[in-house]
Amino acid sequence: MRKQPSSINRILNKCKDYLISVLIFILFLCFLLLFKCKSRYGYRKERQGKREAAITTSMIKAIESDKNPVYTIHGKNKTLELPMEVTDKGKLVSVVWNGHKTGFELSDEESEFTVSPQGILAWYESGLLTAEEMGGEETISKLEENIVSDSLNICLLNVQIGNCTLPEVNVRIVQGQEFPYCMGLKAWNMLLSSLSSDD
């Protein structure tokens, strides 16, 4: 006849089973916590990336209304409102120079004012730029043949954008630019600087 295990052995076996169950449960909790931390870190990283992107694009954000669509940028002491036009090619900010209004397309690229060779030629043909201001007849010939380099810059004086006037704007010619006239983040920073320095 088989002997019954002693009460001490029974207690030890139960304790062993209990400890194994507790260890398995603790390991499960550790894995769960690790997974949760990893997910939260990934979410936080993704959210931070989105926030950084939002900060970059917020400088070029349209606040549209039915009556008067404008772009707004906030300076130190006041807000600059830039009238915009909505076209099939996007949103354009009106830039006035020498009494002539040009629609500059807003770009989120790290650039200032950029113009295509065709855009510069349009200014020249309408009398807004002289041959001397464009660098001479040789430059005009290169522009017409579309072989001008991106290093060519045109300086515009007293450029009015909304209710802000920039005393001097350097416009860089860019080959193959899709829209004739573009204004990027550096141009917006110029406007912000002019607002900050305006008492």
State residue 68's pLDDT score.
Answer: 52
State residue 61's pLDDT score.
Answer: 46
State residue 54's pLDDT score.
Answer: 42
Angle at CA of residue 92, ends 91 and 97, nearest 5°:
170
Confidence of residue 65 (pLDDT cuts 50, 70, 90): very low
Q: How far apart are CA 30 and CA 42, in angstroms?
A: 18
Confidence of residue 120 (pLDDT cuts 50, 70, 90): confident
Residue 199 is encoded by which pair of tokens?
A: 């008492």
**For the stretch 83-103, what's the b/e string if a residue is b when 16 or more beta carbons lie within 10 angstroms of its beta carbon?**
ebeeeeeebbbebebeeeebb
156 class by beta-carbon count within 10 Å (0-12 exposed, 13-18 middle, 19+ buried): buried
Asked if residues 81 and 162 have their Cβ atoms less than 8 Å apart, the reply is: yes
Q: How far apart are CA 84 and CA 158, in angstroms?
A: 20
State residue 42's pLDDT score.
Answer: 65
Question: Which of the two residues, 161 and 194, has the higher pLDDT score?
Answer: 161
**For the stretch 13-25, what's the b/e string if a residue is b when 16 or more beta carbons lie within 10 angstroms of its beta carbon?**
eeeeeeeeeeeee
Q: What is the 3-state secondary structure (H, E, C) of 68-96?
A: CCEEEEECCCCEEEEEEEEECCEEEEEEE
Q: Residues near 103 by Cβ (< 8 Å), separated by ≥ 6?
A: 85, 87, 92, 93, 94, 95, 181
